Amino acid sequence: MNGEDDAVPEAVAPDETGLLLSAAPAAPSVGPAQGPRRPCLVVLQGPYEGRVLRLWPGEHWVLGRGAGAHFLLEDDGMSRQHLRIERVGEAFVLEDLGSRNGTFVNERPVTRHVLEARDVIRAGATTLLRLTHLDPLEEEMHQRLHAAASRDALTGVFNRRHFDERLASECAGARRHMRPLSLIMVDVDNFKRVNDSLGHPVGDAVLKGVAGQLSAAIRREDAVFRYGGEEFAVILRETAMDGALVLAERLRAGVASLVHTGEGVDRPFQVTVSVGVATLATGMAEEGLVFAADQALYEAKHTGKNRVVTRA
């Protein structure tokens, strides 16, 4: 984020219980509070800005970029299991889990810290978080704002803006830790024909179905994005070409197996996808990775469709 969007909102004082009141960006006024206020972490800045991480149920929560974390935060410099927040009575205690780049509270490095009202937590290159308490209505408002900024309205997968941010972070992390990273580009074959012959509502339903199939096939640490139109992207962390190729073929076959229908459709039909796969090479920028995957996708589209093509 740039400019005024980087500003960290002011916190408010604890209430009479000693717990934090909402220190997150003020949500639009929507009437009286609905239900009890519950402890949450709100992402103030970073790739997941606006996201609410509910600290309930449970007694401790691990944040990081690995599959073992309770909350996945994709940010350059974030360790697999970066920090833990533990509830001790009515207090919340933060503990760094030996992260590579450290955890900071109010820009001071900490190994263990009892969180207070004005504390801002920094982990990774850009992520800032703050503990707060939200009632269900406030929490829903924050989640809606986050979804509007990062999700595609039609399919529910991540949008192009979030793709650009996530890919930059993933490439930086892969280079820093010398780990593989792969990108899959997926394009629905003959989609214009579907729209023209069956109508846009049916076409929209096809895109939703494809997005759902892609999302169901990936790992928790991977992510699906709507890149534009009928094109999707899948970022695969710590995955070399052989693993990416296996998943790409699974995605292609999974989409081909879907049966679509809709209002005004005489009989069920199926669609196929063309798939391009590329792996981050030494010295390659994220733009180069996208270009390589796009070139592979172009070849797949022009050599028969419904197939997977790779680029090293």
Both structure tokens of 284: 């390659």
Distance, CA of 233 to CA of 286 (rounded, Å): 13
Query: Which region holds residue 31: left if phi is over 0, alpha if psi is between -120 and 50, else beta?
Result: left
| H/E stretch holding 132 | strand 127-134
Do residues 246 and 254 lie in contact, with contact meaning Cβ atoms separated by under 8 Å?
Answer: no
Residues facing 251 on adjacent strands: none
Distance, CA of 161 to CA of 48 (rounded, Å): 12
Confirm whether 230 is a catalytic residue. Answer: yes
Do residues 64 and 51 lie in contact, with contact meaning Cβ atoms separated by under 8 Å?
Answer: no
Do residues 99 and 105 lie in contact, with contact meaning Cβ atoms separated by under 8 Å?
Answer: no
Q: Spot the catalytic one: 230, 231, 238, 286.
A: 230
Hey, what amino acid is at 148?
A
Single out the residue of 90, 88, 89, 70 nearest to residue 80, CA to CA.
Answer: 70
| Beta-sheet strand order (sheet of 181-188) | 223-228, 231-237, 181-188, 273-279, 308-311
Do residues 185 and 231 lie in contact, with contact meaning Cβ atoms separated by under 8 Å?
Answer: yes
| Beta-sheet strand order (sheet of 108-110) | 52-54, 38-45, 127-134, 121-123, 103-105, 108-110
**Other CB atoms closer than 10 Å to residue 59's CB: what's the count?**
9
Both structure tokens of 180: 């593989």
Classified as helix, coil or strand, 293 is: helix
Distance, CA of 35 to CA of 125 (rounded, Å): 35
Residues carrying an active site annotation: 230
